[in-house]
Structure formats: structure tokens, C-alpha cells
């Protein structure tokens, strides 16, 4: 889905970041705001709340998470449910949270018991990224391989399919609806991860709401769609486009577009292909792997565009693959093929992940931002996973633009208290090994990758 780019007041927009780092003694330094904003949206909803999160899970008893965000979100939903008996609440999530049917998540079970509508996405409706395995699984294994059987859950994980949107939609007291779209999940295990989200309002949110209801329907939901009707009587709902200034931007407000799945990749490539000197491209990512994006960045750099990337080093088994892959060989390729005109820094993780999915494309007068759940990988950009991003274009002078650029520049230049370093030089995790590079290319092209 790609909504029209509608002009909305900048007062309805917000840039929100969760940042985790460590001081000189290794002690965590954490700043969080995303789920505070989510809880605030829930607390003021009167008619509808729709949530779609890939992971919605509490921590194991032996774990000590940074924040018990799953329980906090569950409690907030149940509290608002009791306060507003006519409130319609729909929760959409990946079946991995219920062990693909082998068990029940404690938090989801509480919501179901209270009468909240909970839908697990039917992953069989999604395309197969790992064709070699999924073909075998569909033909010979799915008919008898119950999730509770030995390795039953793992055989399903190997399909590498994910309902991976991370968003909430809710009505506001003024009668409008708002959405918070980002990279953060309500998962205790992920509560210390660095993430980015944006809060948006306006007509594009209505199209996103309908997209969420379509996912629920093809996953077996038969609820009352009219309970989730967007807008309210007397509130303007049309998509408006303001007159453009000489900079190509609306005289007032910002252009907001909501994108899902393959439309995210198409919009990003179109923006990258349109750049020229003295434009800049900044990106903060957990994964950089898609070949189309890599070639577009190299082409932009050849045209004199400044390109800066902050990447997770992909160290450790937590990333579900080979240590360092894909980011380390990809970063080495980008620097080598660009002659050093593409610049890379690594986020200093301390057991957590650097998890934003943020791209900034800007010139002297305007800035285009894409933020949401989609990392720059084949699965996220080529219609395999379910993903959602917000794309916003506004003047460089807008407060929203300054917040986004300040966030990136602070991480890039380590603008922090003494003893805190957000990012490290490229040489710290440089990996020019051809074996890792071709392993990454094989994994990305074949679908045999968890990224």
C-alpha cells in the first residue's frame, strides 16, 4: 500500500527515539520515549485502538529486562477497556508469540480472556522467501508436523516469514485518528534496544487502518468492521494537498505518506535515484542487505551525494545468523566501491541491538524521512514480510526536521556526556573477507537468511 502524500499540520507529527548506550564503566545509559507515547495514545482513546506488533511477549522468569513493556501495554489496554465499555480494541500479532499454536502468550491470553479481539496473522498467505525449505514444508511437512512436536516451532521459523509491522492506531479526543509507526516491539527481551518511531495523523492513517483490517480478515477475523470506522462526524477526512512553495514544499505543514511492504522499497529507491549534489543521505539501521538499495547508494555517491550510515555490527548469535553478516561485508563493499565517499560508523551495542529503520534524504531546503519497521533487506522491501513505514517530507526549518537530524548527528559525532560513545569508527568492525561477502550474497539471494 502507498497512500497519497497528504498535507497535515506539523503539530500532529512527532519524532520519537529510544537510545541505549553505556558509560565509561559499562553501566547502561537509557533514554526511552516510544512506549510512553503509545501508552499516552491508549489512555485518551474513546472509540478504537488497533495494534499490530510482530513481538508481544514478556520476559522469561530468569531474565531481567530493561522494562516490562509487554505487561505495561497489556495493563493499559485492559484499564482503558474497563473505562470505555464501547471501545473497540483489535490486536494483531505474529503467531510466534503463541508458539505457532503450541502454547499461549500470557499477555495475549489475558487480553483474550477480557474480551479483547486478538488475531494471529495467517503467515501462509505471505510469499515464501526461503523457497527451498518452504516448498518442502508445504508439500510434505505441514500436514503432520504439529507445532508442539519436537522441532515443530523451529521448522516453521525456517520459513523466515514474519508479520513484522510495529504500530498502533487510535482515535483522539478531537475526533481524528493518530498512528505511531516505528521499529519497537512490546517485547521485554527487546526493551533495551535502540529504536525510532514517528507519530502521524491525517487521512493516510485511515488507509493504514483499512490495511490492518484486511490483514485481520485474511487471518480469520470476523469482527464488526464498522466498529473500527475511521474519523468522526464533522471531522474533515479528505486528503488535501497545499500549494507548494518555491522550495517544493507546502507553505504550511508536511506531506505524510504511509507505505507498506514493497511500496517502501519503491519509494526509497525513487528518492535515492532523484538525489544529486549537494544532497545528503543518512541512515540508521540494524540490517543493510538489499542489492537494489546498495547499488542506488553507490550511484548517489558517484553523483556527489554525501552518504552516511550508522549500522549495528551484527555481532553475536542474537542476530540469528553468522556473526557480522550482513552489515560488515556490505559496509566494506560500500566503502571499497565508492572510493571512501560513503561513510560508515558502527553503533556500540552492549548486548542489545541497534534497531532503528530510519532513512533521511535531504537537501538545503527540504527533508524526506522514512521510518518504521522495514530494514533494508530483501525480505522487508520485496513483499515477503508484512512491514509498515511512514514517509514524511517537510521543510529543513521545521522542528520535526531538526529533531531527526539532531538525533542522527548526535549519534554520528558522539555528542554525549563525557565517557559515552554512541558510535565507533568503521575500522573497528571492518570485514573485507571475501568468504563473508559471498556468504551474505548467497543468503540474501536464496532466502536462506534470518535478516
Cell (9 digits) for 297: 547508494
Considering the domain architecture, whether residues 72 and 205 belong to the same structural domain is answered as: yes
Residue 388 confidence (pLDDT): 98
pLDDT higher than threshold 90 for residue 237: no
CA-CA distance, 424 to 119, in Å (whole number)?
42
Segment holding 285, helix H or strand E: strand 280-285
Mean pLDDT, the chain, rounded, equals: 91
Residue 145 — very low, low, confident or very high, per pLDDT cuts 50/70/90?
low
Tens digit of each residue's pLDDT (9 = 90 or more) over 102-134:
888 999 999 999 999 999 999 999 999 999 888
Considering the domain architecture, whether residues 185 and 301 belong to the same structural domain is answered as: no
Tens digit of each residue's pLDDT (9 = 90 or more) over 360-404:
999 999 999 999 999 999 999 999 999 999 999 999 999 999 999
Considering the domain architecture, whether residues 181 and 50 belong to the same structural domain is answered as: yes
Q: Counting Cβ atoms within 10 Å, is residue 316 exposed (0-12), middle (13-18) or buried (19+)?
A: exposed
CA nearest to 74, candidates 105, 103, 96, 99: 105
Contact 373, 53 (CB under 8 A): no
pLDDT higher than threshold 70 for residue 59: yes
Considering the domain architecture, whether residues 53 and 190 belong to the same structural domain is answered as: yes
pLDDT higher than threshold 70 for residue 223: yes
Dmax (CA) of the chain:
64
Considering the domain architecture, whether residues 303 and 223 belong to the same structural domain is answered as: no
- Write out the residue range of the structural domain in which residue 56 sits: 6-143+151-228
CA-CA distance, 372 to 261, in Å (whole number)?
11
pLDDT higher than threshold 70 for residue 248: no
Residue 244 — very low, low, confident or very high, per pLDDT cuts 50/70/90?
very low
Tens digit of each residue's pLDDT (9 = 90 or more) over 432-448:
889 999 999 999 888 88
Considering the domain architecture, whether residues 201 and 262 belong to the same structural domain is answered as: no
- Answer with the one of 194, 228, 262 that is the final residue of a domain: 228
361 within domain boundaries: yes
CA-CA distance, 179 to 201, in Å (whole number)?
6
For residues 240 and 411, the model is more confident at 411
Q: What is the pTM of this model?
A: 0.94
Residue 155 — very low, low, confident or very high, per pLDDT cuts 50/70/90?
confident
Domains of the chain: total: 2
Can you state the angle between helices 327-337 and 291-302, rounded to 10 degrees? 30
Tens digit of each residue's pLDDT (9 = 90 or more) over 278-321:
999 999 999 999 999 999 999 999 999 999 999 999 986 555 56
Considering the domain architecture, whether residues 183 and 104 belong to the same structural domain is answered as: yes
Tens digit of each residue's pLDDT (9 = 90 or more) over 257-286:
999 999 999 999 999 999 999 999 999 999
CATH of the domain at 130: 3.30.870.10
Tens digit of each residue's pLDDT (9 = 90 or more) over 180-192:
999 999 999 999 9
pLDDT higher than threshold 50 for residue 84: yes
Amino acid at each position: 500500500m502507498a497512500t497519497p502524500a497528504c498535507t497535515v499540520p506539523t503539530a500532529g507529527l512527532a519524532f520519537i527515539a529510544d537510545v541505549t548506550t553505556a558509560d565509561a564503566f559499562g553501566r547502561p545509559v537509557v533514554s526511552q520515549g516510544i512506549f510512553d507515547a503509545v501508552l499516552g495514545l491508549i489512555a485518551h482513546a474513546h472509540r478504537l485502538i488497533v495494534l499490530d506488533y510482530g513481538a508481544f511477549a514478556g520476559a522469561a522468569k530468569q531474565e531481567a529486562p530493561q522494562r516490562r513493556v509487554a505487561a505495561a501495554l497489556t495493563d493499559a489496554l485492559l484499564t482503558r477497556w474497563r473505562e470505555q465499555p464501547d471501545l473497540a480494541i483489535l490486536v494483531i500479532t505474529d503467531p510466534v508469540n503463541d508458539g505457532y499454536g503450541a502454547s499461549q502468550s500470557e499477555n495475549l491470553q489475558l487480553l483474550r480472556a477480557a474480551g479483547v479481539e486478538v488475531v494471529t496473522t495467517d503467515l501462509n498467505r505471505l510469499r515464501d522467501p526461503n523457497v527451498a525449505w518452504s516448498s518442502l514444508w508445504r508439500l510434505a511437512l505441514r500436514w503432520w508436523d504439529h507445532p508442539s512436536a519436537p522441532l515443530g516451532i523451529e521448522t516453521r521459523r525456517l520459513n523466515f516469514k514474519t508479520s513484522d509491522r510495529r504500530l498502533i492506531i487510535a482515535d483522539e479526543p478531537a475526533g481524528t485518528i493518530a498512528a505511531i509507526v516505528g521499529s519497537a516491539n512490546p517485547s521485554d527481551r527487546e526493551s533495551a534496544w535502540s529504536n525510532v518511531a514517528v507519530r502521524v495523523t491525517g487521512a493516510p492513517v485511515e488507509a493504514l487502518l483499512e490495511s490492518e483490517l484486511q490483514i485481520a480478515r485474511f487471518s480469520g477475523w470476523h469482527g464488526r468492521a464498522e466498529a473500527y470506522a475511521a474519523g468522526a462526524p464533522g471531522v474533515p477526512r479528505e486528503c488535501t494537498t497545499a500549494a507548494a512553495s518555491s522550495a517544493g514544499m507546502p507553505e504550511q505543514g508536511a506531506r505524510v505518506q504511509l507505505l507498506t511492504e514493497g511500496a517502501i522499497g519503491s519509494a526509497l529507491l525513487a528518492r535515492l535515484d532523484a538525489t544529486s549534489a549537494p544532497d545528503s543521505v543518512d541512515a540508521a539501521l540494524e540490517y543493510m542487505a538489499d542489492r537494489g538499495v546498495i547499488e542506488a547508494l553507490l550511484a548517489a555517491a558517484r553523483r556527489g551525494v554525501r552518504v552516511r550510515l550508522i549500522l549495528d555490527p551484527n555481532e553475536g548469535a542474537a542476530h540469528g545468523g553468522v556473526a557480522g553478516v550482513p552489515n560488515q561485508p556490505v559496509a566494506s563493499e560500500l566503502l571499497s566501491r565508492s572510493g571512501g565517499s560513503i561513510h560508515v560508523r558502527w553503533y556500540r551495542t552492549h548486548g542489545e541491538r541497534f534497531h532503528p529503520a530510519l532513512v533521511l534524504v535531504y537537501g538545503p531546503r527540504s527533508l524526506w524521512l522514512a521510518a518504521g519497521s522495514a530494514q533494508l533487506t530483501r525480505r522487508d522491501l520485496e513483499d515477503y514480510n508484512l512491514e509498515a513505514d511512514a514517509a514524511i517530507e517537510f521543510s529543513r526549518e521545521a522542528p520535526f526536521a531538526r529533531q531527526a537530524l539532531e538525533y542522527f548527528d548526535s549519534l554520528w559525532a558522539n555528542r554525549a556526556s563525557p565517557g559515552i560513545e554512541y558510535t565507533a569508527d568503521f575500522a573497528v568492525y571492518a570485514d573485507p573477507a571475501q568468504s563473508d561477502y559471498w556468504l551474505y550474497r548467497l543468503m540474501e539471494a536464496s532466502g536462506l537468511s534470518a535478516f
